[in-house]
Amino acid sequence: MLDQPIAQSASQLPLAVAGLCFRAGGATLIDQLDLVLTDHGVTVVMGPNGAGKSLLVRLLHGLIESQAGSITWNGRSCGQATRLRQAMVFQKPVLLRRSVAANVDFVLRLKGASNRERLNQLLAQANLLDKKDQPARALSGGEQQRLALARALASDPDVLFLDEPTASLDPSSTQTIETAITQASGRGVKIILVTHDAGQARRLANDVVFIHRGAVLEHSGAEGFFKQPASIAARDYLAGKLVI
């Protein structure tokens, strides 16, 4: 049961990023960024505000285009084709003006996989089954983000990006989301998670990519990173100091 999705996700890995640059408004926001991800599991992207974390995941997902450098998923250039097998949960969930169930069903239909059983299973996992007929936009912030995650999982992605999904959420919603992330990762979905929450990173990360000023400052296994960060900036960041 577990093996096959892992084999599927291997079809998108390795991710290889080389010399990636993104400029906007005269500023270089991503600067010669190199990164290679070979293993499934949870990769956590950390770094100070403005380091380029959100930009990086948007570039990797193919939502925006870089001016220089390359991104390949298992040798295929990043774009529409690779995005089809990926999903993203944004920091601020964008929910359709429909019921909770209709939001998930929209994606199931899109992927030609609309069925009640799967719908209920996704809603149950997000702890939203009892609210399935409520308007999605009337949900609380935590419920909205849980729904956004359920909807992302409805597309059965090989790679799931999450851009600070639990920023300013209540602990129980955060826990539901972290459980869903762990389960998806266990099924072989590659997780790329941007977070500011060092505790969350410790709980979930297999490896950590630390970004500073638009470049990867270090990329190492989670255990090693949290025990002994190699860079001063990462050390200061983890110690709660301001990193500029």
> Is 5 an interacting residue with respect to other proteins (CB under 8 A)?
no
**Does residue 186 contact residue 179 with C-beta atoms inside 8 Å?**
no
The token pair that represents 81 in the structure block: 């084709």
Positions 118 through 157 that interact with other proteins (CB under 8 A): 135-138, 155
Q: Give the residue, chosen from 10, 18, 63, 167, that forms a contact with other proteins under the rule CB under 8 A.
A: 63
Q: How far is the CB of 235 from other proteins (least distance, A)?
A: 34
Nearer to other proteins, 45 or 233 (CB): 45
Q: Position 87: which residue type?
A: A
Q: How far is the CB of 178 from other proteins (least distance, A)?
A: 21
CA separation for the pair 223, 33 (Å, rounded) = 23
> Is 107 an interacting residue with respect to other proteins (CB under 8 A)?
yes
Helix, strand, coil percentages for the chain (3-state, nearest 5): 40, 25, 35
Binding mask 183-202 for other proteins (x = CB under 8 A): --------------------
Select from 106, 105, 100 the least CA-distant residue to 126.
100
Q: Give the residue, chosen from 8, 21, 32, 106, that forms a contact with other proteins under the rule CB under 8 A.
A: 106
Q: Residues in the site for other proteins, rule: CB under 8 A?
A: 61, 63, 80, 83-84, 86-88, 90, 94, 96-98, 106-107, 110, 135-138, 155
